[in-house]
Amino acid sequence: MRTPLVIDTDPGIDDALAVLLALASPEVDLQLVTTVHGNVGLAQTTENALRVLHLAGRSDVPVAVGARTSLVFPQPERAGHVHGAAGLGGVVLPPSPAAVDPRPAVVALAELLLASEQPVTVAAIGPLTNIALLLGVYPEAAARIGRLVVMGGSATRGGNVTAAAEFNVWADPEAAAAVFGAGLPTVLVGLDVTLPTVLTAAGIARFAAAGPVGAQAAAVLQQYVDHARSSYGVEGVVVHDALALTEAIVPGTLTAVRRDVVVDTGHGAGRGQTLVDRRTTSSSATAVAVAEDVDSEAAVEFLVSRLCGLAERT
């Protein structure tokens, strides 16, 4: 039986690949996409989500608009220098014929959770503002989440937007603190497992050659490739969000250990840092399953082969 899936996202180059990966995977049934501020502004993340779904022939998947800004303090800056000003690496995908869902994201998500006969997996691959709002406004719906797979944070690798903080958590630390402390069945897919998982030019070329959808996905990735080469001297890209979706699609892909996690919500150099207590495993009700090990080669092959399949079918 296919697992009902919701993706909460701020597309974003790697977010776009993650959505395509979900659509390429028969294990899950993508029932809703909710958008949030993050890599670019909310209006653009929403438009990007609609266009990515349309690219894959799935304009039927509803897109509901979420939080425009962080819970307490505005996000200091976007990530246009990485993803392009419009979020998809300068590639202009065809517009979608679909309109956004008239319901606010939190309402759409709550109604889906309360109505579902099966446990729903929620993949949160942007700032956690929408999930924190769900906890505050519809706690009875949040309690019905089967699994919450979060792309964010870091236990041992430091940050990628500051020395301490990973981007998604840094964009709304107060929301992340609320979510990680809520006792939801959460898997945290952070930089510890995403950074070693690199999609190379050879992998990109495989799905680029598989069909028009693959070619467009490869084109969207090009700015990411250029950024990685110029900034880090790496020939390939880390597709953070696609790895989180891989864990959402195939639970247990990543080796995770239950840990206590605290988010720094202060205003010093550590703001947005995920402080993971790695001294021991935790039996606390609020412990989070922190992903600590990955078979990077297998994860990249999973992504590439699924995108090839989607490109061939679409």
Q: Is 167 exposed, middle or buried (0-12, 13-18, 19+ CB in 10 A)?
A: buried
Angle at which helix 296-313 crosses helix 212-232, to 10 degrees, equals 150
Cβ-Cβ contacts under 8 Å for 167 (sequence gap 6 or more): 38, 79, 160, 161
Residue that is written with structure tokens 């600590």 in the block:
292
**Over 226-287, what HEC string results?**
HHHHHHHCCCCEECHHHHHHHHHHCCCCCEEEEEEEEECCCCCCCCCCEEEECCCCCCCCCC
* Active-site annotation holds for 240: yes
Catalytic residue among 54, 227, 240, 267: 240
41 DSSP assignment:
-
Strands of the 3-9 sheet, one edge to the other: 63-65, 28-35, 3-9, 120-124, 145-151, 186-189, 288-293, 255-263, 274-277
- How far apart CA 8 and CA 10 sit, in angstroms, is 7
Considering only the C-alpha atoms of the chain, give the largest distance between any 2 of them, rounded to a whole number of Å.
52
What is the residue-wise DSSP string for 165-194?
A: --HHHHH-HHHHHHHHTTT--EEEE-HHHH
Q: Can you count the helices (H) and strands (E) in the chain?
A: 13, 11
The encoded tokens of residue 105 equal 């994201």
Please name the helix (run of DSSP H) or strand (run of DSSP E) that holds residue 31, with its range, or none. strand 28-35
15 token code pair: 């977010």
Q: Which residues are catalytic?
A: 240
